[in-house]
Structure 1
Amino acid sequence: MLLAEGNQSVGATFTLLGFSEYPDFQVPLLLVFLTIYTVTVVGNLGMIMIIRVSPRLHTPMYFFLSHLSFVDFCYSTTVTPKLLENLVVEDRSISFVGCIMQFFLACVCAVAETFMLAVMAYDRFVAVCNPLLYTVVMSQKLCALLVAGPYIWGIASSLTLTCFLLTLSFCGSNIINNFVCEHSVIVSVSCSDPYISQMLCFVIAIFNEVSSLVIIFTTYIFIFVTVIKMSSAGGRQKAFSTCASHLTAITIFHGTILFLYCVPNSQNSWLIVKIGSLFYTVVIPMLNPLIYSLRNKDVKESVKNHESYVK
């Protein structure tokens, strides 16, 4: 661990302000976030279970969806319990190690989800544009590699950023004006020059966002062209319906991230940043299983068949 000479960062503590500036709303917020977290856990773990027990869902598309649900579950579990705790107790402190670990795990999940959505876009591209070769192209080996990629790159990106955070010194008041240990708020309380760490984070974030969106846009351009060329209206409707849930998830996830990039750097923007961070760390992991279950006939029928079997 690289630390500045004389730096006592390992023993430092941070204070997550969260939503403490609204004392009258602590209980309502607790109930809302507890409900969201419960739905997130049940929804994502339920999705994984349904996909595993239902033979009709043993396809590449649902294989990727099960991993998206796993990432969402881990993402929410990394952030939400501490958020709930800080709404109950007055001591909103978190240790340096705890803060760094929360950032590391949240970063892994965020990057993994970014590229998991891109992998799912490629899967839809093969299914729509090359339906006869789908089972051949999307082999078990390729699916395993496509799933491993987002996890490996997520760990590599997060480990790199974490190592550079460990080179920073923290002294004096370490008050974080957020509910989660994000990179920007951690470097904001550092008493050493965070320029290299900030630039590295910026470069990695831009690379991840641009590369994943290029993959998604490219695949959906080919999908759109292929669908338009279809002579059957029923075929076009079926092709669009298979992509609708994925497009909805992509729009919400990347729309939130791009919105946060556009927030001006000012004191008045902290509330907007917190709400945006809340949306993609707490709310989106809850929405994804709902989007895929409510808009997907195969999932709904598998749930009904499983319920009938249990009865």
Structure 2
Amino acid sequence: MGDLTAEFEAERGRLTAVAYRMLGSRSEAEDAVQETWLRYAAALADPAARAEIRQLGAWLTTTCSRICLDVLRSARVRRETYPGQWLPEPVVTPLDALPRSDGFAPDPAERVVRADQVGTALLVVLERLSPEQRVAFVLHDVFAVPFARVGEVLGTTDVAARQLASRARRAVNAPDAPRHTADTAEQQRVVRAFVAATESGELDQLVKVLAPDVVLVGDGGGHFPAGPNRILGADKVARFTLGLFGQAGRYGGRLRARPVLVDGVLGLQLETVFRDGRPLRLVTALAVHEGRVTGIFNQLNPEKVRDVPPLGPEDTWPPRW
């Protein structure tokens, strides 16, 4: 049993990364990986099923992807009735965190992922896709799985799988999709400018940091008002952002913040306390392209940020770098 567990654990990080990209939910990704483990253990107990496992990584990826496909098909109904805008559960890691292999920080299996194929912006765009398109895109374009194997996962031909990925690629690269292509240095420069402009309270200064077609999406999950629709355009997004931070600051001046990695991209974790004692924890993911912010994604649904480590007394607003 020890060897069996060790073999699976060696693949867990990559499987969790694949599942998270497909599902946009950390808890659902972990459940999918756990179900993969159960099917793996059952297969090894059946000589006929065991004989089909010729290459462990490929078998596990196929099995996990099929589980995710079923989850996506059922999740579509749930998300149609979701209150307000939907955003994925953020995966928050410290800026100084070493690369990990738990499926949420880059590991060797994820180094093929391009800069514009990580972050909340990608996960938001993937919500536009059908379950089949999303699986095809994530497996092939993000994790370089051959189309023949993608076709096996989807129960179709490699030609059909190629067409699904092509349609998904067009949606991901659509003109209205927030772009994120910035490297770490550019992200730091732009996010610092965003924070400084927000702290200044000057509308014109903040507008300069935003792309003309910037989009802001807030997910309150029905617990906090986050707006029923996306906010589009630099002027509207800037006014909303200044109002949000100004409002938070008025609640006793207890706004605290820390720069963090959100889904592998530089963002912010913020906390404040309302006058009635209710805490508000906010995770802001940013997309950066050509020196400006193209997307702001505010996750304030308590159910989706409950696993985010709390801020400490050393965390202040504006955040320390």
TM above 0.5, one fold? no
> Comparing both chains, which one has the higher relative contact order based on Cα–Cα distances under 8 Å and sequence gaps of 6 or more?
1
More strand by share: 2
Q: Could you state the TM-score of these two structures normalised by the residue count of structure 2? A: 0.30
Q: Could you state the TM-score of these two structures normalised by the residue count of structure 1? A: 0.31
